[in-house]
Amino acid sequence: YRTGDRARYLPDGTLAYLGRTDHQVKLRGIRIELGEIEQILEQHPALRQALVVTREEPNGTTRLVAYMVSRHAPAPTSQALRQFLLQRLPEAMVPAAFVALERLPLTPNGKVDRQALPKPSTDPVVVPVDTLVPPTPLEQTLEALWGELLGVSQVPRHDTFFALGGNSLLAMQFIYRLEQALGRPVPLMTLFQAPTIASLTQTLAKPLASDLLVPLQPEGSRPPLFCLPPAGGQVLAYEPLARLLGPDQPVYGVPGTALTTTGQAFPSLTAMAEVYTTRIRTHQPEGPYYLLGWSMGGVLAQAVAEILESQGHTVAFVGLIDAYPPAFARQTDGTEPLAVLALACGGALVDALMQLDAAAQEDLRKALYRLSPMARIHHLQDWAHTHGVDSVGLPPAVLLQQAEHIASHLALLASHTIRPIRAAMHAWWATENGLPHAWRQVWEEATHAAIHTAVLAGNHFTCLRAPHTQALVAQLRQRLGAV
C-alpha cells in the first residue's frame, strides 16, 4: 500500500522522513518539496506555523505562496521572510508572496483546508507603492510588462525584478518585449544595473552603454570572478551561483557574441576569446584574474587564461564546470537540430528530452530533419506544449537566431586547439553525464600545473540549478579563498 510518504535509509540504518510525494511540485522545470520550505519557515522565531502552496495566476504563470501564523503581532514582513529564506534555500524555492493568518483553516477532520486559503491580497514583497508622483509613460510601460510577466497586480517602484519572482527566462522575455516597446536595443546588463522600476526608468532615459559585461553581483571587496559564456552566449545561468556566493564576491558575466566588432563571423574560438579578454581587461586592467566557465564557457575560460598569461598577466583561478573539450564537439554533429533547438528553447525542455528513451528521441530527431529551420521551432514548441513542458516564451524568429548562434559556436569549439596554461585548474564534473575518462585527460594536459577535480550531483544542465547549486557554491567559495 502506497502511503504517499517519502523516506530513505541512512548508512546507520535509520529511516529519514523526506516528506509527502503529493506535496512535490515542479515549477519552471525544478522539482520542489513544499514541506522543506515549510520546515525552514517554521524555524523563524516569530512564526508558529507555515504552509506553502502553488497558485496559478490569470496570466498562466505559477508561483509559490506561503501562509503563516505568527507567534505574536506584528507578523514579520515579506521582505524579512524572503531574506531569511534566501540564506537557507535556493531562490527557486523562495515563495513569491507571503500571507499572514490568525490560524490555518481546517477541515472537519482536522486537516488543513487548502481550498479555504485566501488568495494573496498583496504584492509578493510588501513595500508601499509610491503614489505621490504620477508614473511617466515609460514607467507605465515597465509596470505593465512586469505585472504581466511576474503576475503582480501592482508593482512597487523600489522592488527588484528578481525579488518580485523574476528569473533568467523571465528576464530574457522582459528584455525582448522592452526592446519591442521602445523600438531600440536594450543590453541585458541594464536589468542588473537598474533592477527596480524607479532605477530602470532613470537608466533608460539616458544613452545606454554597450553590453560588455553583465554585473551579476557587482558588490564586494574580493577580486571579481568573470564567468565565460556557454554556446549561445547566455550568461544568466550563472545568476543563482553569483547570488549564493555572497555579497562580498563580485561576479560578472561575459555575454557571448556571434560576430566580431567588424560584423564578421569569428574565424576561431581563440579569436572569440581575445574579444572576451579585452572586455575583461577593460573592467580590470591588471591581474590577478579569476575565471570560471560552464560547458563551452570552460573552454573559453582556459583560452582567456592562456591569452592573459601570454600578455604577462597573472591568472589566479581557472574553474571549469562540466566543460566538454573540443574532442566532444568533433565527435558530435554541431548542426543536429534536436540538440541545438533544445538548447535554444531552454532548460526545462532539455530536461524533458533527456528523460525520453533512445527510440523516442530518434523519432523526434527524424521529424525535425524533414522540416525547415522555422518549422522545426514550431514543431518542438508544439511538442513541449503537448507534454506540459515550459519553453522560453520568445518568438520563433528569436529562438531560431539563438539556435544559429549555438550551432556556429559548436563549430568553433570543434576546430579549437587547447594550448596549456601555467595556472592551476579546478574542474567539476556532473555525475549523471558519464564524461569519458579520455576527455577528462584532455583537461589534465591543458595546464602545466595541477588540476583539482570534484563531482557534482545532477547532469550537464541541472548541476547549475537548485538544489545542486549550493554544494557547488560551497566548494567554489572554498577554492576561491585558497588562491
pTM over 0.75: no
- Regarding whether 93 and 31 lie in a shared domain, the answer is yes
User: What's the pLDDT at 123?
Assistant: 41
Q: Residue 209: inside a domain, yes or no?
A: no
Q: What are the beta bridge partners of residue 98?
A: 66
The contacts of residue 22 (CB under 8 Å, 6+ apart) are 4
What is the length of the chain?
A: 483
Query: What sign does the CA torsion over 205, 211, 213, 216 have?
Result: positive
- Regarding whether 242 and 320 lie in a shared domain, the answer is yes
Domain boundary among the residues 183, 204, 225 is at 204
- Regarding whether 95 and 35 lie in a shared domain, the answer is yes
User: What's the pLDDT at 126?
Assistant: 36
The reply to whether omega before 95 is within 30° of 0 (cis) is no
Q: Residue 249: inside a domain, yes or no?
A: yes
Contact 380, 368 (CB under 8 A): yes
- Regarding whether 220 and 316 lie in a shared domain, the answer is yes
- Regarding whether 438 and 394 lie in a shared domain, the answer is no
Alpha-carbon distance of 448 to 423, in angstroms, equals: 7
- Regarding whether 231 and 298 lie in a shared domain, the answer is yes
Q: Residue 14: inside a domain, yes or no?
A: no
C-alpha cell at 125: 514583497
- Regarding whether 318 and 429 lie in a shared domain, the answer is yes
- Regarding whether 308 and 422 lie in a shared domain, the answer is yes
Q: Residue 124: inside a domain, yes or no?
A: no
Alpha-carbon distance of 226 to 13, in angstroms, equals: 44
Domain holding 148, by residue range, is 137-204
Domain boundary among the residues 355, 379, 412 is at 412
10-residue mean pLDDT profile of the chain (483 residues): values are: 58 62 64 86 91 77 85 83 81 82 87 85 40 70 87 76 76 85 80 85 74 83 95 85 88 81 79 94 94 95 98 97 83 63 69 78 83 83 76 71 83 92 94 70 91 88 82 91 75
Helices (H), 195-292: 197-204, 239-244, 269-283
- Regarding whether 226 and 304 lie in a shared domain, the answer is yes
User: What's the pLDDT at 442?
Assistant: 86
Number of domains, the chain? 4
Burial class of residue 400, CB neighbours in 10 A (0-12, 13-18, 19+): middle
Q: Residue 1: inside a domain, yes or no?
A: no
> What is the layout of strands, in order, in the sheet containing 214-217?
214-217, 251-253, 225-228, 289-294, 315-321, 425-430, 451-456
